[in-house]
Structure 1
Amino acid sequence: MADEGVIKDELTIAAETGNLQKLQRLFGGGVYEATSRKAQSACLSAANAKQAQAVIAFLQWGISPNIEDNDKNRLLFVCMRRGLDTAVTMLIEKGVDLKRPDTEGNLPMAVAIKSKNIPIIKELLRAGVDVPHGQLDA
């Protein structure tokens, strides 16, 4: 288990389990701030746990759509790779940077095309993203 020995706080646990009621209570309790590293980490944990509604709750609370983990993995790409289409749509609505590549140099459209994710391809096209010529394998 990768997290063995790591003590998780209640925000991260609520995020990873998709406990929206608890998240809302914690958001309003004044203990956590949307700009804190702990809140950003919990949001990324929700994405990694495939908890799309929890990610959306964090975004509605005010977390930046452009957050990333310690390894520079951005929330957008974590959501895309986990198939969290509704969260990706919300990220686009919240103004996520669609011109910044992932850690491997892939732009969002290239990732969506490679994974054959038609709903996200459509969302990216609606957002004005071009098909990245030269980034796609034949």
Structure 2
Amino acid sequence: MRAESLLSALGPQVQNACVGAAIAQQAECVQAFLEAGAPLTCSDKEGRRLLPACCRSSLAESIALMVSLRADVSKPDGDGSLPMSLAIQNKSMSCVKELLRGGAQPPANADMPGLANLMLEVQFEQCEAEIRPLATAEVDPAQLLEAERVVLEGMEDHKRLIKLHEDTRASKSLAEVERQIADAQAKLEATKASSVEYVESMNQKKIAIRNAEAELHKLHKEIHSVQETYTKLKEEDAKLKQELITSHETLKEAQAERDALEAARLEREQLTGKVQEELQELEKLIEEQTQQNAGYQQELLAAREDLESKMRDKEEAKLLTEKAHQLVDTL
């Protein structure tokens, strides 16, 4: 009692020491802590629990003690690892066996040789533990007969109640069937009364259907005609596109020719301007030369008149000389 009060007073220190003993593989210390009243769910400061720590250290005796004390073998460690997974990971058959005895189940992806045989062995042990206490049990024949009588009476009463239940259901079903038959007969009479109107309505619907079929046939023809027209228009459109492409190319060529002509015209205009300027200069030179020629012409006329005057004087002088010679000869 003093040990339990001391453990409860120390609390976390005891839990930390118990888990530390399990990690250090000190099975005797773990057993001493548990027998002194240490909680089965104790954990250390890092969150590591006692049972997973025993599985990590393969302490099968400590695990068996905890299983006998009703420890929860399915509770995971602080990092989420299950005790069974840790025991299988360490390949500890004894730890796995003790956990199976405590009700733990191996994971679906468990890979451990001999695990299936070990599970069967534990199941056999559990069955043996359940059956063995019944080896010395005895049954009183009188009590067995009394139990059979009570069972038979209960079966008779059960049959009676079942028959009553089924008869009640059959009676209710019969009443429901009769009601449905009456409703069906009433609907049949109403249907017979309205059959003439129904036939007339059906005839009208047939006429409407024929008219609709005729209209549909007409629409099909129109659609076919429209499709043919569309095909023709599509072909014409293709032709027009080709013609448009040709016209565009022709236009480009014409524009190129026009640009060339415009360039030639501009060049001619430039040449014409130059020629006109040269012509004006030439006219100016001609005018100057004409004026100069007119001066030369006047000078030429004056020189001609002077020459003619000199020629006449010369002729006259010649005549006078001849006359003078004649006179001289005469004398």
Query: Shared topology, TM-score over 0.5?
Result: yes
The sequence identity of aligned pairs, in percent, is: 35
State the match for 1:87 in structure 2: 62
State the match for 2:32 in structure 1: 57
SS at match of 1:33: helix
State the match for 1:27 in structure 2: 3
In the alignment, is the contact (CA less than 8 A) between 2:73 and 2:103 conserved in 1? no
Gaps of 5+ in 2: 113-331
1:100 aligns with 2:75: yes
* Shift of residue 54, structure 1, vs aligned partner: 0.8
In the alignment, is the contact (CA less than 8 A) between 2:49 and 2:77 conserved in 1? yes
State the match for 2:200 in structure 1: none
1:126 aligns with 2:101: yes
Distance 2:71 2:20 in 1: 18
Distance 1:55 1:70 in 2: 17
Distance 2:98 2:44 in 1: 24
Question: What do residues 104-132 of structure 1 show as CA deviations (whole Å, max 9, x unaligned)?
Answer: 32221111111111011111112221112
Instruction: Give the TM-score normalised by the residue count of structure 1.
Output: 0.68
Distance 1:27 1:72 in 2: 24
Structure with the largest fraction of helix: 2
Question: What do residues 43-87 of structure 1 show as CA deviations (whole Å, max 9, x unaligned)?
Answer: 122222221011001101111111111221101111111122211
Question: What do residues 6-38 of structure 1 show as CA deviations (whole Å, max 9, x unaligned)?
Answer: xxxxxxxxxxxxxxxxxxxx838x6x2246112
Larger RCO (CA under 8 A, 6+ residues apart): 1
Distance 1:34 1:79 in 2: 22
Instruction: Give the TM-score normalised by the residue count of structure 2.
Output: 0.31
1:74 aligns with 2:76: no
User: Over aligned residues, Cα RMSD in angstroms?
Assistant: 2.3
Report the AA paired with residue 3 of structure 2. F
Gaps of 5+ in 1: 1-25
